Amino acid sequence: MTTEITLALPEEAAAKLRAEFEHFVKLSTGLDNEFTPPGFDDFLRARLLHHDGPLTERAVTRLLSGGEYAWAKRVFNKQLPNAMATLMRDAQRYGYGLAVRYEWTPQERLAHARDWSRQILEDAGADLAFTDPLASQLATSAVDIRTLEEQMQTPAWRVAQSLRRRVYDLMYMVQTERTAGAARSRLGELRALLGLSMDYGTVSAEEAARVMEQVEQTCPHLFREEPDDLFARVAAWLRRVLV
């Protein structure tokens, strides 16, 4: 059953309501050119329903489908991916960041971002049609965890940088060491440190190979197998004594 209510308003009050409606339409279409504004009756109904009181199912349905709430929901759905992009873009200015695993391929990064986006939209009650735009924003905003560590000067990054410096210090020591035994000991330390540096990601496998190649070119005798017999041991002992 529908009940009609006729309102008798002074001219000034009616003009004010009409001006508010026109301002609402202008603002709404300015923010979203695809927005279809409600009629004046629906706008007036939404204004009246702001007051406490019982709401019929039909009034609620009309409010959700054509009133201010529906407009706000559509704007939220459209703006959420853009808002997320703005958030991630400005995060680094204030000391925040979104990191991603360094071993992920671009396809893996996008797939995980899509799963995350779907969960965000479901929790927010937003339209799942915006999953892909939001996933794209997340995937492009995230940076390699190692890049983020460098930007934030984290303890892990400082350790990695120390390892890198130590690698080149050891390389110099191996090349300038005067005794073969000490040089071989330094070479073993260098190999172990290169392996640790590659685990940290501060030295690539190609760079580690170049370091070892340079050491081998400078000190080829360190890479030759020495004879392990009685005479060789006596000769090595004599060298140590004489030095």
Q: pLDDT tens digits, residue range 200-239?
A: 778 888 888 888 888 888 888 877 765 555 555 666 666 5
Stretch 25-45: mean pLDDT, rounded? 71
- Mean pLDDT value across the chain: 76
- Cα–Cα dist 82/89, whole Å: 10
- Cα–Cα dist 126/118, whole Å: 10
Of how many residues is the chain composed?
243
Range of the domain at 58: 11-66
Stretch 32-61: mean pLDDT, rounded? 61
Residues 24 and 41 in one domain: yes
Number of domains in the chain: 3
Residues 61 and 22 in one domain: yes
The DSSP element (H or E) to which 100 belongs, if any, is strand 99-100
**Domain membership flag for residue 72:** no
Residues 59 and 83 in one domain: no
Does residue 121 or residue 1 have the better pLDDT? 121
62-83 exposure pattern, b = at least 16 Cβ within 10 A, e = fewer? bbeebbbebbeebeebbebbee
**Domain membership flag for residue 71:** no
Under the banding of pLDDT at 50, 70 and 90, the label for residue 53 is: very low
Under the banding of pLDDT at 50, 70 and 90, the label for residue 108 is: very high
Give CA separation, 148 vs 96, 108, 141, 144, in Å.
9, 19, 12, 6
**Domain membership flag for residue 106:** yes
Instruction: Out of 151, 168, 196, pick the residue that ends a domain.
Output: 151
**Domain membership flag for residue 36:** yes
- Cα–Cα dist 212/187, whole Å: 9
**Domain membership flag for residue 228:** yes
Q: pLDDT tens digits, residue range 130-150?
A: 888 888 888 888 888 888 888
The DSSP element (H or E) to which 12 belongs, if any, is helix 11-31
Residues 114 and 142 in one domain: yes
Stretch 186-203: mean pLDDT, rounded? 85
C-alpha torsion 104→106→110→113, nearest 10: 40
Residues 232 and 164 in one domain: yes
Stretch 89-93: mean pLDDT, rounded? 77
Residues 44 and 104 in one domain: no
- With left for phi above 0 and alpha for psi between -120 and 50, is residue 204 left, alpha or beta? beta
Q: Which pLDDT score is estimated for 96?
A: 82
